Structure 1
Amino acid sequence: MAQACLPPGFRFHPTDVELVSYYLKRKIMGKKLFVEAISEVELYKFAPWDLPDKSCLQSKDLEWFFFCPRDKKYPKGSRTNRATPNGYWKTSGKDRTIELNSRIVGLKKTLIFHEGKAPKGNRTDWVMYEYKMEDETLVSAGFSKDAYVLCKIFKKSGLGPRIGEQYGAPFDENEWENLDVNDAPPEIDGILLDELAKFLDDSPNDDVVLPEVLAC
């Protein structure tokens, strides 16, 4: 998948519901996404610091999104194998439910990367939110809700965002002043309202919440 970048002021900042009920659901069902913003990567083959370069959407916002096929630790078991060549991802806290219209549609798991061999690896600042589909309508329709998970990766720094801090990386004028509009990636530059309307008309109404693109 070709890499793309968003113009200044635009952020790929979907909510938990949007990640599960739009992106992950359509991935599992084999449906087309309006914007190909999330790469499919076998996350556990790589160290977390190698993953940013594998994102199809390049940005200085220090968070990255990936579809990951489920890799079971044991062939007949339900536990996921989260070991990597450099360490392992360890669960932190309890799973949180994601609800849409008072219905549970997904689970959100927090994991921390530990460098070294389990169980004595060294905790790092790399964090993963793993989103899992819990929509039983997929199962009744013949789809495996466990085929993929959607993962958000970021590196924690400090105690979190300061009050009033703006979302996203600082603007660098030098990166954009000589860029012609014709140089914009087709995934972004080609989005027109009539194309969006046609896409929505061709899509069934299945409780999908469209992703939000923020313009600051």
Structure 2
Amino acid sequence: MQAEEIICRVSDEEIIENYLRPKINGETSSIPRYVVELAEELYTVEPWLLPRQTAPILNPGEWFYFGKRNRKYSNLEGVHCEGSWILEDGCIAVVSKETGEEIGGTTRFRYYYRNKGDKESRLKMSNWFMREYRLYYKSRRVFNGRQVFCIITCNDEHFIE
């Protein structure tokens, strides 16, 4: 396998410890150039309209984002009535291999959409997925604020550049 064919895989623990925790603490992180920083629009814009950072070492159908989870948006609320990020898997604890303590949590969502402009149509499943990472406060299973790290993945070649 040639070097440009190597795909970067980052563990859940690495995301929490090497990016999310330093970012929340105002420190530098080890993967900043591959991450797009957004505010609440991470949840309010259709995933195919979000800016994307690509690199040869990254999976071409996977993008990294840092943003804020807006409290007024629930997991099931629509995005401009065009679609919704709907919870697929509840919160799964991310555990430190070194200490064995829970350091954060990850939740998986799938994007469902409607026919454009038809607020009455049923939601249809898409090939867009989001894994959201949140940091826990020290040794408590309470999330640390609204800041999140998200990986959005598309399993549809039409949207992959």
Alignment partner of 1:107 is 2:109: no
Cα-to-partner distance string for 1:47-86 (whole Å, 9 max, x where unaligned): 11223xx133345621111001120117xxxx56853232
Separation in 1 of the partners of 2:19 and 2:75?
A: 21
Point out the structure with the larger strand share: 2
Gap regions ≥5 residues in structure 2: none
Distance verdict in 2 for CA 1:67–1:119, change over 3 Å: farther
TM (normalized to structure 1)? Answer: 0.56
> Retained in 2: the 8 A contact 1:72–1:81?
no
Hey, what does 1:125 align to over in structure 2?
127
Query: CA shift at 1:13, angstroms?
Result: 2.0
Identity score, percent: 23
For 2:109, the aligned partner's letter is L
Separation in 1 of the partners of 2:144 and 2:90?
A: 20
Superposed CA RMSD: 2.9
- 1:25 is paired with a residue whose SS is helix
- Equivalent residue pairs, number: 141
For 1:128, the aligned partner's letter is M
Hey, what does 1:95 align to over in structure 2?
91
Hey, what does 2:148 align to over in structure 1?
149
Within-5 A mapping of 1:40-189: 40-41=37-38, 42-51=41-50, 54-59=51-56, 61-73=60-72, 79=74, 83-85=78-80, 86-100=82-96, 101-116=99-114, 117=119, 120-136=122-138, 145-156=144-155
- Higher-Rg member (1/2): 1
Which structure carries more relative contact order (alpha carbon 8 Å, separation 6+)?
1
Separation in 1 of the partners of 2:121 and 2:94?
A: 30
Gap regions ≥5 residues in structure 1: 1-6, 139-143, 158-168, 170-216
Distance verdict in 2 for CA 1:46–1:55, change over 3 Å: same
- 2:93 is paired with a residue whose SS is strand
